Structures are given as C-alpha cells and as structure tokens.
C-alpha cells in the first residue's frame, strides 16, 4: 500500500508542477488601454478562441485543476492504516 501511495504522490507533484507551468503560460485577461484600440481584432479572436493556443491552455488548466483536487482528496483519506 505504501508503494501505491508513493506513486500517487509522485503523480500529484507532477500535476502540481504542470498546473503552475500552464497557468504561467496563459495571457492576462485585462487588456487596459490597448483593449479599446484593438477592439475590432478582438472580435475575430473571440470567435476562434476555443481553437487557439489560449483555448487549449484553458482546457488543460481545467483538467489539471480537477485532477489536483481529486488526488488531494485521495491522498488525505485515512484508509484505516
């Protein structure tokens, strides 16, 4: 049982590192003054955002976030040992 816990802990650490990297790769959501100037181009990219690199990063972030929470709960369960 300790070997399984060690393997899950290693996977957990890898997910944590992956989540940090993916979040840091994302763009900021506040556009500031440049957002009002580039408003026309923003409408095109808004339509295709799901197919872009930014859309993929959002999906990966959600997946890694869910895995992070699930593995956190599993690791903190007391299995009677």
Q: Are 11 and 70 in contact (CB under 8 A)?
A: no
Q: Are 63 and 69 in contact (CB under 8 A)?
A: no
Q: Which two tokens stand for residue 19?
A: 């989540």
Binned at pLDDT 50, 70 and 90, residue 55 comes out as confident
Q: Give tens-digit pLDDT for 65-76.
A: 999 999 999 999
Q: How many CB atoms lie within 10 A of CB 65?
A: 14
């Amino acid at each position: 049982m300790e070997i399984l816990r060690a393997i899950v802990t290693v996977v957990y650490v890898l997910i944590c590192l992956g989540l940090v990297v993916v979040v840091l790769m994302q763009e900021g959501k506040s556009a500031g003054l440049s957002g009002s100037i580039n408003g026309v181009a923003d409408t095109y990219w808004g339509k295709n955002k799901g197919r872009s690199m930014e859309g993929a990063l959002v999906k990966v972030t959600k997946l890694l976030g869910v895995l992070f929470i699930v593995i956190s709960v599993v690791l903190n369960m007391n299995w009677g040992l």
